[in-house]
Amino acid sequence: MPETSTVRPALPTPRAQAERLIELGVHEIADLSAAELRAFAESADAGADGGTLLAVHPDRAPASALAPLLRRNDKAGFVVTDMPDCDLFAPLDTVALPGTPLYLVTGLDRGDEMANWSPDEALPALTGRARTPLLLTEGITWVLQQPDVLERNHCFMTIGSRLRKANSALDARTPALWISNGTGRDGRERRDAPKVGWCWAGNRHTWLGFASAAGRDVGPGGSAED
């Protein structure tokens, strides 16, 4: 598998990202004060680079609450009607997620070079390269901070989030973010809107890469196990 090759403009600093989340009201969704969010971002600024995302734990800010905050061409984001259980898509057992309300995701990559791979093919390939697949909430947050990361023909899956059925087997749906064509149940009024949807784990799509990261931590002196 080739090395990651997606070139993206640098993300804003954690401080600037915090202000964006506050502007959108994400701190209120997460039951955090603006001061708490700013304090975390300030401590994270020193060691952050242009590939560091300030993320909110999915237990605090679920996908269903974040998706409507997305915007593209003045169109609000939405979750597809046949994914009402999107908030039940939890981190895979192999994803080491910090137990803190706020954390950092480092070394982001959209995974364009994996377009036309299936999720079943992509996950072991990412794991083999010590990459961690993004969670759905992390993918949404990335687009909130950097809307241009979502492009037609270059959208991405977030296969770090999966739903387990009652028998402990994984549901075959895998979440993704892309841009609505305004067809079917989406409705014509949603054409060009950012969209949270899903694809089957065994299917391939030429326009969907697999977003991943180098790791997650809680800032200076912390680790994913904190």
pLDDT tens digit sequence for 175-188: 999 999 999 999 99
As a whole number of angstroms, the distance between CA 152 and CA 38 comes to: 33
As a whole number of angstroms, the distance between CA 226 and CA 217 comes to: 8
CA torsion sign for 45, 222, 212, 214 is: positive
Mean per-residue pLDDT for 104-126?
Answer: 97
pTM for this model (two decimals) = 0.93
pLDDT tens digit sequence for 61-89: 999 999 999 999 999 999 999 999 999 99
Burial 88-119 (b: 16+ CB within 10 A, else e): ebbbbeebebbebbbbbbbbbbbbbbbbebbb
